[in-house]
Amino acid sequence: MSVHSQAKRVTVPQLVAAKGERKIAALTAYIAPIARLLDEAVDMLLVGDSTAMVGYAMPDTLSMTVEMMAAHSAAVVRATRHACVIADMPFGSYQQSPAQAFANAATLLSAGGASGVKLEGGQALADTTLFLVERGIPVLAHVGLMPQYVNTMGGFKAQGMTEAAARRIMDDARAHAQAGAFGVVLEGISEPLAREITAALPIPTIGIGASPACDGQILVTEDILGLSGERIPKFARRFADAGQVIQQAARDYAQSVREETFPTLTHCFGVRSEQ
């Protein structure tokens, strides 16, 4: 069965049209049960390669593959009907050439059911954005703090803090916009720079650790739900403590099993009601 459905989703052109009209609310989703809960509330769900760290407890995002991302994307698409689903292109799946990028992005749309892809990179990747867009693949660019560049950045550090670095990030964002990207994620950059880029570009900026002036915001869902440990990143806010709720439910369940109050005969098959 195809992963694609006839659901009336938010479309990429609708996200573009939101610029200057209303803020875009976006979150990450990697698996069906969480995606199902988030779907109605947000405009966009990003199947982020951050699932490497959040879902697989890896130290960085570099080990995700196209097959893994396509499987996560398909799960999110099958579980949702409203949000526009965008899938991250994993490290090594698009940097070699535009043709390599097209083949892998096509898999994320065909097998993964995504409505577009996100790729990290500066001006050097703008020709790849152009190549994909001209062939029917919507691209969300990602500049500033790019987690796939952790080794060249020397860690996950905020970017654009010098005038020269800020100019470079502005040029990166402009290059992707000119190449036809439908939006650009601004991650971990100085607030005035994010504000300036948002004012300069004709396409929506989606901020994470960027600026309230961005056209939209995205966060890692587990950070807002209290599911990513004690430490909350500076740029996030915990909107719920689902971690505590889940922990308590697990304790209550375990206690019921040990005290033999669960299961009861009502949870069993082949039991007559008078028993």
| Shortest distance, position 91 Cβ to ligand KIV, whole Å | 11
Binding residues for Mg(2+): 49, 88, 120
Contact residues for 239 (Cβ-Cβ < 8 A; gap 6+): 224, 225
- Looking up tokens 């995205």 gives 218
Which region among 43-51, 171-179, 194-202, 247-255 touches ligand KIV (by CB under 6 A)? 43-51
Kindly state whether residue 116 participates in binding ligand KIV, applying the rule CB under 6 A.
no
Kindly state whether residue 48 participates in binding ligand KIV, applying the rule CB under 6 A.
yes
Binding residues for 3-methyl-2-oxobutanoate: 49-50, 88, 118
Kindly state whether residue 208 participates in binding ligand KIV, applying the rule CB under 6 A.
yes
| Shortest distance, position 23 Cβ to ligand KIV, whole Å | 16
Cβ closest to ligand KIV, residue 152 vs residue 259: 152
Kindly state whether residue 220 participates in binding ligand KIV, applying the rule CB under 6 A.
yes
- 67 annotated active-site: no
- Dump the DSSP string for the chain: --S-----PPPHHHHHHTTTTS-EEEEE--SHHHHHHHTTT-SEEEE-TTHHHHTT--SSSTT--HHHHHHHHHHHHHH-SSSEEEEEPPTTSSSS-HHHHHHHHHHHHHTT--SEEEEE--GGGHHHHHHHHHTT--EEEEEES-GGGHHHHTSS--B--SHHHHHHHHHHHHHHHHHT-SEEEEESB-HHHHHHHHHH-SS-EEEESS-TTSSEEEE-HHHHHT-S-SPPPTT------HHHHHHHHHHHHHHHHHTT-SS-GGGSSS--TT-
Which region among 44-52, 75-83, 102-110, 267-275 touches ligand KIV (by CB under 6 A)? 44-52
| Shortest distance, position 24 Cβ to ligand KIV, whole Å | 13
* 89 in Cβ contact with 108 (< 8 Å): yes
Total chain residues near ligand KIV (CB under 6 A): 12
Binding residues: 49-50, 88, 118, 120
Nearest position to ligand KIV, beta carbon: 48
Which region among 13-21, 42-50, 68-76, 254-262 touches ligand KIV (by CB under 6 A)? 42-50
Kindly state whether residue 185 participates in binding ligand KIV, applying the rule CB under 6 A.
yes
Cβ closest to ligand KIV, residue 157 vs residue 251: 157
Best CA proximity match to 102, nearest among 132, 73, 130, 70 = 132
- φ/ψ (deg, to 5) at 85: -100, 120
Cβ closest to ligand KIV, residue 50 vs residue 159: 50
Catalytic residue (choose from 40, 67, 187, 230): 187
Kindly state whether residue 86 participates in binding ligand KIV, applying the rule CB under 6 A.
no
Query: What are the residue numbers of the active site?
Result: 187
Q: Contact positions toward ligand KIV, by CB under 6 A?
A: 28, 46, 48-50, 88, 142, 185, 187, 208, 218, 220
